[in-house]
Amino acid sequence: MAREDLTRLTGNGNGGPCGKDDCPNVYRTASGSIVVQGDVSKAFQPPEGEGLVEIPEDVLREAVRALGW
């Protein structure tokens, strides 16, 4: 799946310090699932095929607002 196939829910021109694609962000897929971009976390070892990322709380709040939850 390409980034262009996702709906970006956060960081849409809010004038923050980040570049266009290099910040923690939350995306929605066409099927309605969520994709999260963030810093790799080593908090614990997830099961094979899964990964851990860290995102700031404000990014998650922005995504919730964008989804109308």
**pLDDT per residue as tens digits for the range 11-29:** 875 555 566 667 899 999 9
Polymer length in residues for the chain: 69
What is the value of pTM for the model shown?
Answer: 0.81
What DSSP assignment string belongs to the chain?
A: --GGGSEE-S-SS---SS-SSSS-EEEE-TTS-EEEE-EE--SS-PPTT---EE--HHHHHHHHHHHT-
Contacts of 1 by beta carbon, 8 Å cutoff, 6+ apart: 29
Is pLDDT of 58 > 70? yes
